[in-house]
């Protein structure tokens, strides 16, 4: 993809999606002097609350989408479940970064796995089963244990089921009947890590320090930076992120999720063609945040330094942190206790309604080393 013109501060950036990633992107962009317009089907979205303009219409409304694009100097997206097909209509109107083809590849697990295989990136063994295909045969091909995942629109563990023994096969057949799926070999990994990589129009690449991730109920709980893995794992993960960004012709920011096996191998798990939950630590602990880096990349500006200023742990705040009784919220978390800590920074996303499992915000804890930051993060989380 050829480099386009530089869009200097004062230009207008369009964001497809109105969630918390769009909100933090808008905050970074407005700090640099850009106008931000948000396109989101739902009203009163977190990103729209801090943007200059909010447009509420379905993504499939090509007329509304095209009119929105005409008002923008560049358009980006803040989550990968924006349908890619309508985006082709705005390609002639304004630049879309990353390109819609990157979104089309990464938002569907079948296409993503095929892309990794065809480009020889290390990944877990997998099989694809069409909506009318033989799921049991696919499970036999991969072998038990495995994980069955819907091909489309999955995140935070949604749309997937572990098949750990033959007795679990029937549950998988019942749950995914009539759906296209990907069946992946179950990886008994030592840890999960992620790399946030940015690539500019001029093909400059920066990889943020690797995060070590701990999940609870399939949702990210803690991101620990620097990751507590051997130097050769750090180097391999960074190399893979860099090569993926180049091969897929990324212009923007991408999260690359990876498994580190118990024998030290690094496997690519999933790609997210936008800023990433595990990269939120960059706001408080890096020279440049992942959100500012996204602005720089899509606007043709020089990429910023990704230097880590302090060991840090990021903690997700879910709706579970509110006090519940009979399914109703009766009290908020103890924000004052958290804010009393001098090494804590709190980020709330402006969502009106907490729900169990819903990401409502995050906080970061800095300390002299990663182990201490994690110990304090667990302590503060328990108090919250």
C-alpha 333/C-alpha 321 separation (Å) is 6
C-alpha 293/C-alpha 275 separation (Å) is 9
Q: Tokens standing for 222?
A: 């803690």
Burial class of residue 282, CB neighbours in 10 A (0-12, 13-18, 19+): buried
- pLDDT digits 0-9 by tens, 232-257: 999 999 999 999 999 999 999 999 99
Give the residue among 268, 242, 249 at the shortest CA–CA distance from 104: 249
Place of tokens 């991101």: 223
Residue 205 dihedral angles phi and psi, to the nearest 5°: -130, 135
Query: Both ends of the chain: CA-CA distance in Å?
Result: 47
- pLDDT digits 0-9 by tens, 299-318: 999 999 999 999 999 999 99
- pLDDT digits 0-9 by tens, 107-137: 999 999 999 999 999 999 999 999 999 999 9
C-alpha 298/C-alpha 307 separation (Å) is 21
pLDDT score for 348:
98
The sign one gets for the Cα dihedral 60, 66, 69, 75 is: positive
* Contact between residue 50 and residue 79 where contact means Cβ atoms under 8 Å apart: no
Helix, strand, coil percentages, rounded to 5, for the chain: 30, 30, 40
Give the residue among 294, 289, 304, 258 at the shortest CA–CA distance from 274: 294
Q: Is 60 exceeded by the pLDDT of residue 329?
A: yes
pLDDT score for 205:
98
Peptide bond between residue 312 and the one before it cis (omega within 30 degrees of 0)? no
Q: Is 60 exceeded by the pLDDT of residue 156?
A: no
- Other Cβ atoms less than 10 A from the Cβ of 21: the count is 28
Give the residue among 304, 303, 302, 299 at the shortest CA–CA distance from 4: 299
Q: Is 90 exceeded by the pLDDT of residue 1?
A: no
375 vs 79, 126, 345, 346, 379, CA distance in Å?
A: 31, 37, 16, 17, 6
Q: Which domains does the chain have, with CATH numbers?
A: 12-96 (3.40.50.20), 125-185 (3.30.1490.20), 189-383 (3.30.470.20)
* Contact between residue 103 and residue 157 where contact means Cβ atoms under 8 Å apart: no
> Any idea what DSSP says for residue 96?
B
Banded pLDDT at 81 (limits 50, 70, 90): confident
Report the range of poorest mean pLDDT among 112-116, 148-152, 189-193, 344-348: 148-152
């Amino acid at each position: 993809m050829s480099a386009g013109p530089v869009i200097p501060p004062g230009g207008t950036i369009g964001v497809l999606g109105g969630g918390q990633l769009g909100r933090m992107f808008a905050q970074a962009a407005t700090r640099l002097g850009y106008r931000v317009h948000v396109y989101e089907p739902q009203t009163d979205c977190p990103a729209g609350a801090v943007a200059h303009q909010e447009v509420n219409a379905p993504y499939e409304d090509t007329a509304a989408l095209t009119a929105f694009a005409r008002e923008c100097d560049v358009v980006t997206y803040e989550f990968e479940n924006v349908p890619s097909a309508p985006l082709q209509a705005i390609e002639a109107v304004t630049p879309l970064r990353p390109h819609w083809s990157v979104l089309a590849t990464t938002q569907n697990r079948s296409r993503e796995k095929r892309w990794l295989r065809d480009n020889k990136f290390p990944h877990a063994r997998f099989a694809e089963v069409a909506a009318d295909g033989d799921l049991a045969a696919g499970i036999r091909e991969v072998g038990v244990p495995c994980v069955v995942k819907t091909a489309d629109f999955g995140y935070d563990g949604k749309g997937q089921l572990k098949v750990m023994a033959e007795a679990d096969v029937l549950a998988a057949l019942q749950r995914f009947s009539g759906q296209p799926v990907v069946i992946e070999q179950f990886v008994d990994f030592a840890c999960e890590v992620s790399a946030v990589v940015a690539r500019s129009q001029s093909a400059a690449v920066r990889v943020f320090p690797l995060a070590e991730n701990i999940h609870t109920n399939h949702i990210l709980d803690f991101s620990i930076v620097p990751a507590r893995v051997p130097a050769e794992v750090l180097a391999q993960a960074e190399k893979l992120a860099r090569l993926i960004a180049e091969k897929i012709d990324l212009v923007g920011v991408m999260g690359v999720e990876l498994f580190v096996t118990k024998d030290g191998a690094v496997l690519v798990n999933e790609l997210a063609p936008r800023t990433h939950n595990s990269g939120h630590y960059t706001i408080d602990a890096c020279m440049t945040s992942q959100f500012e880096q996204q602005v720089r990349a899509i606007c043709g500006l020089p990429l910023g330094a990704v230097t880590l200023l302090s060991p840090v742990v990021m903690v997700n705040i879910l709706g579970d942190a509110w006090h519940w009784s009979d399914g109703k919220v009766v009290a908020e978390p103890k924000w004052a206790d958290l804010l009393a800590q001098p090494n804590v920074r709190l980020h709330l996303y402006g969502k009106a309604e907490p729900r169990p499992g819903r990401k409502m915000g995050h906080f970061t804890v800095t300390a002299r080393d990663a182990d201490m930051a994690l110990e304090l993060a667990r302590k503060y989380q328990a108090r919250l």
